[in-house]
Amino acid sequence: MSETPHHVLEEWFSRHGITEVECLVSDLTGILKGKIMPAGKYLRGGHTRLPDSIFIQTVTGGYPDDDDDIRFWNPAELDMQLVPDPDSAYLVPWADDPTAQIIHDCLYMNGEPVELSPRHVLKHILALYEARGWQPIMAPELEFYLVKTNTDSDYPLEPPIGRSGRQESSRQSFSIDAVNEFDPLFEQMYDYCEAQQLDIDTLTHEEGAGQMEVNFRHGDPLRLADQVVIFKRTLRETALRHNMYATFMAKPMANEPGSSMHLHQSLLDRDSGDNLFAGANGSPSKLFHHYIGGLQQYLPSAMPFFAPNVNSYRRLMPGGSNSSVPINTEWGYDNRTVGLRVPVGPAPGTRVENRLAGADANPYLVMAASLACGYLGMLSQIEPRPPLTGSAWSMGHTLPDDIGPALNALSECAPLADLLGERRFTRSYLAVKRAEHSAYFRVISSWEREHLLLRV
């Protein structure tokens, strides 16, 4: 008889003296939901359940109004059982008592997977690759801002004050001294990440004031999506302990660049380990070109996963502080103006970097959607447009420019919706995001009060 996940975790709990467990599930937005319980009760099979309605909850805590569209498949609001993934168990290094945080899969009580779970969506796409003997490899690059604490949501965010006592006011791309301003915070962040065995690699200062980037080592997409979720939580906690906020908003400050989640991706043969994107003579393979062809054709319809919020499209506006933002799905070698960049390197490292996603996106859905677009391209043998050697900005802005048109494009793309799960997941995701869009338009902004109140 095979061991249950709880039995597998028992030795790990004993080794670390775990007394408390945080049971985690990522909702559509990437917010972690779950329960906390004593370790002993958890190992004895304590009932860890949540209602499946957490996957139709908006970022504001509300729900879509259109019950016919969202609840047609489940009017009862069923319970889900949370099943731990022992490979996604992490310590909570900032907790006072030895505590575990464990990412869970969601199953209905009859054992069927919950199709709305972002983690399930990614696992579903990975299973399609596995059936063909393909092993996707990914490496996320995640940008974020450190900002002063701010309890008034009407007040603009500001860069934090570093060790020198001065506020960063100018852009210092790749500056070591600018990173050193926040050494105490980053030293603690690295300590926390090491305790959790997160595979983070380099840390750099990006273009914006107080903007940084962390790169993850390449590996299995599911494990890396788990780690991005845990890292976001870790960094927010670390920043709070240093009297700052860490934010992954796509565009937190009007006059600073937006924050992205670039995604390097390659494809291995599961048996030989060879890079299938590299041809026999070292040049890119047909699969590589078809993968890019699929990205070019389907990424515009998949933008609600890469830019899921109203704020996301402020990052994608060309010009101004967004001087390096991608505005289309052109591709090229070592070209940072394109949406799909192919880094120069040896053949075994052949990969494509998808530069469209914002740091605010759910990593499970970003990876699932990117892989789904590439998969459709490889199956249909879609040929890409020729690579660009000049600026992609001259090719025009061909991506949706707001969440409304993006949601319409996704709803009209049957191949992508079918692959991700049309009946439940895609329809539910669209309903949730439309409800968020509607809630946004009920808010009167300071811009409207400033420019329209006494002038129109």
Q: What is the pLDDT of residues 443-452, one digit of tens each?
A: 999 899 999 9
**What does pLDDT average to in each consecutive run of 10 residues of the chain (456 residues)?**
73 96 96 95 87 92 72 70 96 97 96 95 98 98 96 89 84 82 95 95 90 96 98 97 97 94 97 93 93 98 98 88 83 94 92 98 98 98 96 92 96 96 88 94 92 94
Separation between Cα atoms, residue 199 and residue 144, nearest integer Å:
17
Asked whether 244 and 160 are in contact (CB, 8 A), the reply is yes
Q: Nearest 5°: phi and psi at 35?
A: -140, 160
Separation between Cα atoms, residue 46 and residue 5, nearest integer Å:
13
Whole-structure pTM value: 0.95
Sign, CA dihedral 110-114-115-121, equals negative
Q: What is the pLDDT of residues 48-57, one digit of tens each?
A: 899 999 999 9
Q: What is the pLDDT of residues 276-285, one digit of tens each?
A: 999 888 899 9
Q: What is the pLDDT of residues 372-411, one digit of tens each?
A: 999 999 999 999 999 999 999 889 999 999 999 999 999 9
Q: Give 94's contacts (C-beta < 8 A, 6+ positions apart).
A: 192, 237, 238, 241
Asked whether 200 and 235 are in contact (CB, 8 A), the reply is no
> Which pLDDT value is given to residue 1?
41
Class of domain 5-114: alpha beta
Residue type, 21: V
> Which pLDDT value is given to residue 74?
60
DSSP label of 402:
S
Sketch the domain layout of the chain as residue ranges: 5-114, 127-420
Class of domain 127-420: alpha beta
Count of CB atoms situated within 10 Å of the CB of 358: 26
